Structure 1
């Protein structure tokens, strides 16, 4: 019998100038009167002040506000147990605050509005939360946002490294979709053609405008949001995460100094495309035109970290077939790190 897919998608989507200043209006239109606000620790005061002022102007009560320093399961559970009566949860800032907000929304079944202040990865609209559980990072089921509010001006002013991180995470869809299709061919893994098509096509959206400006910020925000929806469609991270993410996760566990998620994933994507024998030209075109490689100019990556992580990468996730499941690529990987002209420029 044919399978019918039912998914949740954001009802409220605003990617525009000064969107944060309108968040009170958006909340009022959706009949949200009492909200919990979770904010990244160290977030620029003017941003949180703008959110508070916008909500206050529309008579929206911030019943509780918490600053999120770490994305632990214990913290999320504590917030859930003390949540009280709320109409919505608003997460403002970066990954940790948004991951905790998503998971609390999942537990409480309360609508969640995601307000990312940078576009460093697709997590702001994914149906999963990356939380620390007993000292280890795990992906747990979460609620896809009821609303996504991206303030173009705020994201434009975020550090350049976060922009490049978003580019790297977006590029990974090229190798992730290949790995997904490989798992289907070799193991009969379930695949959703529309989710795969949607995820892969998001890279083309940004390639039409790679100079960092208002339009490219809008395109990157839209593309990363659609990646999250692709994951919701198929019920897994497969459209957005493959062998390149395994290597990045291994680096998080073993490297002396892990880098931003999207920066690691971007380099891992280039490497995996070489091992897969596909997609490299598209990736290079994107990275060259966005100057992605410059992210490592001041602080090169360490070969020893990456060599160690590569050995661990295939074991990071059980029953997750990728190109790394095909054979031992260690020598090919080592050769790339030492002989590839692009890798020689960014590794020490």
Structure 2
């Protein structure tokens, strides 16, 4: 009889609730992640430093490591510092996406399990098998194990800057566009699509797209948190970022590389990329819905909303396929000239309307 099941790499604990942070010590002990309490905790200079004061009394065996940069050098240094200190049971990443990405890489480098404790919801890297880190060539994606546990305290999330919470909305919605790109590659090139990973990523995006709430409500924050966690797990299932990264992310990476001093938040940029990609593939109704939902959540829709001119956007879109060689999306499929991109953009503006704060000049 054939084996009809498969193992799915995922955290042993996912706790998304108010007061989840108060259960951290119990989770570590109950799940036998750290019986001795010997922990290395990577913290940000902002929310992480504040929460250290709250957690230090219940984690007496922890050593605290401030992380200031989301770079490969910072991740390697963190790993080296932990190796030179003492033997730890696990690494805890306490902060936003940058801190968690650094902690994931450092934990993988020294062979320790990693616990992710998110203080904002800026993107879906919280629970993914990938660390996005800046390097000498710009920014790179590094494969790492999925966190062994994931805690999101809604009370902590409420204290985060609203922009860093809304950013995750754009990243979640972009799943829908990314899966469409994956299916396009299957139709054109025969690329294999993992149905479970695609379904998980798409439904995560749809849950956020269709939810009537906003970031002031626990119900919406729970759905958004779950969507970002499911996006990460979908990438573990597929073994790459395909379920959550398509043309939308290529455009965002192009912004990062071409305009590093002016790039916006990741989720803001991929949201803009997703609207444009859906428009390119002829899904005009969906592109309009994306735009409406992004605006309802005070997120950018057009490049002018984050300070980029039309010509800068055209340059970024034309360059975008170079950011992910070998990945096939609607951008590679259409292979538009600069004039073609410009025409598509102007058609999009007519379809979704100019945002009130959009402008044609740079920041």
| Alignment of 1:237 onto 2:241 | yes
2: CA distance between counterparts of 1:262 and 1:71? 16
| Alignment of 1:221 onto 2:220 | no
2: CA distance between counterparts of 1:233 and 1:309? 30
2: CA distance between counterparts of 1:124 and 1:320? 23
The 3-state SS of whatever aligns with 1:170 is: helix
Gaps of 5+ in 2: none
The equivalent residue for 1:30 is 31
The 3-state SS of whatever aligns with 2:241 is: coil
1: CA distance between counterparts of 2:230 and 2:298? 24
Deviations 1:156-212 (A, max 9, x none): 221121122111111101110011111112222221011101110112222224322
| Alignment of 1:89 onto 2:106 | no
2: CA distance between counterparts of 1:182 and 1:294? 24
2: CA distance between counterparts of 1:247 and 1:192? 24
1: CA distance between counterparts of 2:343 and 2:129? 37
Deviations 1:211-259 (A, max 9, x none): 2211101110001000000000010100000001000000001125100
| Alignment of 1:162 onto 2:172 | no
Shift of 1:53: 3.1
RMSD of aligned Cα (Å): 2.4
The equivalent residue for 2:320 is 313
Gaps of 5+ in 1: none
2: CA distance between counterparts of 1:338 and 1:187? 30
| Structure 2 counterpart of 1:208, from 191, 206, 211 | 211
Shift of 1:5: 4.6
2: CA distance between counterparts of 1:239 and 1:20? 29
Shift of 1:287: 2.1
Shift of 1:73: 2.2
The equivalent residue for 1:106 is 108
The equivalent residue for 2:354 is 344
1: CA distance between counterparts of 2:278 and 2:305? 25
2: CA distance between counterparts of 1:331 and 1:23? 54
The equivalent residue for 2:282 is 277
The 3-state SS of whatever aligns with 1:119 is: coil
Relative to the length of structure 1, the TM-score reads 0.91
1: CA distance between counterparts of 2:101 and 2:221? 22
1: CA distance between counterparts of 2:48 and 2:93? 14
Distance 1:298 1:228, change over 3 A: closer
The 3-state SS of whatever aligns with 1:115 is: strand
Counterpart contact for 1:303–1:347, Cα < 8 Å: no
- In terms of mean alpha carbon deviation, does 44-53 or 194-203 score higher? 44-53
Relative to the length of structure 2, the TM-score reads 0.87
The count of residues paired between Structure 1 and Structure 2 equals 343
Aligned counterparts, 1:120-135, within 5 A? 120-135=122-137
Counterpart contact for 1:337–1:347, Cα < 8 Å: no
Shift of 1:331: 3.0
Deviations 1:102-125 (A, max 9, x none): 112222231111011110100110
Aligned counterparts, 1:36-185, within 5 A? 36-43=40-47, 45-56=49-60, 61-62=61-62, 64-81=63-80, 82-83=82-83, 84-185=86-187
Counterpart contact for 1:5–1:233, Cα < 8 Å: no
Deviations 1:1-58 (A, max 9, x none): 99975332111111111211221122222231210000123336432222323324xx
1: CA distance between counterparts of 2:315 and 2:303? 19
Distance 1:246 1:184, change over 3 A: same
The equivalent residue for 1:302 is 309
The equivalent residue for 1:264 is 269
1: CA distance between counterparts of 2:256 and 2:328? 20
